[in-house]
Amino acid sequence: MAAPLLYHEKQVSLLCGVHALNALLQGPYFSAHDLGTIAQEFDEKERQLMASAGVESADFLRYMAEDSGNAAANGNFSIQVLTRALEAWDLRCVPALSSSAGSAWREPQRERAFLCNLDQHWFAVRRCDARSATVHREGEAHAECNWWNFNSVFPAPQPISELYLAAFLAQLKDEGYAIFVVRGHLPPRFPDADAAASGDAAGEYGMWVSADDAAALNKRAEEIKNAGRARNAAESALAKIGAAGRTTLSVVGGALGVGGGSRAPTGGGGGTDEDAELQAAIAASLGRAPPGVREGSSADPSSSSAAAGSAPDADLAAALAASLAGTRPPRDPDPDLDAAIAASLAEESGSRETLARHSVPPEPSASDPEALVLAIRAPDGRRVTRRFRRSDRVGAVAAFAAAATGADMARHALATAHPDRLRLADENQTLEDAGVKDKSIVAVEPR
């Protein structure tokens, strides 16, 4: 039996919403035109809501001048567009941290798939029957219990072990991602998947790969990235050495030497200047002399100390090590910065405690005279409409915004954007006391 295949779409423009849905469904089911049509339907409904305040009002005219909150010109789509598209497959998107998600956050391995969003980027994480020999456990092939990350910025899907899945999602949350669990029955194997080898079933953006093919593509991409990082470090090091008038590198007898002249290859080494520079940079990052360099050598005849032993070169080695490791050198202590970070963490902790004291109240009926219709605008531009009572607390709206949009309210605050601009800072204040009016747009904004 042929090895199970994975469907993957690599990033095109900002069509990650399209890529995420097709990866989730494992086939080229949706196009940008399909999602654009859904976005237009939502835009029209929102326009009608805003027009109820008067089509000649300054707020309506300002709203009409804004870009769509459901589809950006460069191809990004909102969560409500993706949600409506998935409804065609009887699938639902539920914020993973909400009470309606049940145990999804505590036991994500029991779910089938997740959608993840940060700013304008979407990607899917789901179970498949394809198995990575190095990551997934034995005996699980064809059981659809092997997790894969279908981020479209990767050249191919990347495997996730079941044991690491919870930590992986927690890391995404800490980075600010909104995470949605996908509920319902995912479609079966794509009908034309057997034609994948010839490329006939890959759609406009996609490709079909086996687990081994995915591993090879990702390994190659990582090798290219590491080589580029090391080469950049070498070029930076050589530029710094030359600018300071210190030792230059030369090839002596097929190995690296130190001298004041230019580099010239010899017949015995077979290596190139570029390889020599790369070796020198890596050696410097490890805190030792490069191959063929004598400790204590110097380009300055009057100096008997090693250029590699000077303080500037020690700084250079540290910088190279940090560059090759993909990290930054440790910063010097900054009391003011440390105090600001501590204050920010304290504010975030206090915000979470305040939010925990509020719950989402029952939605009043449309005929309730105390009802207010609020349009909650998420950080990514999508809008969710719901009724509240005038006596409901601001914190109740914040709790609903967190559940409906996936926004971390420890890092976001509420503010009305229409008809009046109000900062809703007191979560214990009633909506009426806060000045929130019927048909207000309440924006979820970064603190």
Active site residues: 16, 121, 151
How many angstroms separate the Cα of 401 from the Cα of each of 189, 193, 220, 294, 415? 36, 40, 42, 65, 12
Single out the residue of 287, 266, 265 nearest to residue 274, CA to CA. Answer: 265
Spell 323-343 as b/e; 16+ CB within 10 A means b.
bbeeeeeeeeeeeeeeeeeee
Distance CA 255, CA 268 (A): 9
Distance CA 17, CA 29 (A): 12
Could you say which DSSP state residue 155 is in?
S
Q: Nearest 10 degrees: CA dihedral of 343, 344, 350, 351?
A: 150
First to last CA, the chain: 55
CA 180 to mean position of chain CA atoms: 14
Distance CA 51, CA 59 (A): 9
Single out the residue of 375, 355, 325 nearest to residue 63, CA to CA. Answer: 375
- The answer to whether residues 377 and 441 touch, using CB atoms and an 8 Å cutoff, is yes
Distance CA 443, CA 447 (A): 12
- Residues paired with 71 in a beta bridge: 77
How many angstroms separate the Cα of 429 from the Cα of each of 134, 389, 393, 396, 412? 54, 13, 5, 10, 17
- The answer to whether residues 108 and 128 touch, using CB atoms and an 8 Å cutoff, is no
Residues 6+ apart with CB under 8 A from 365: 371, 387
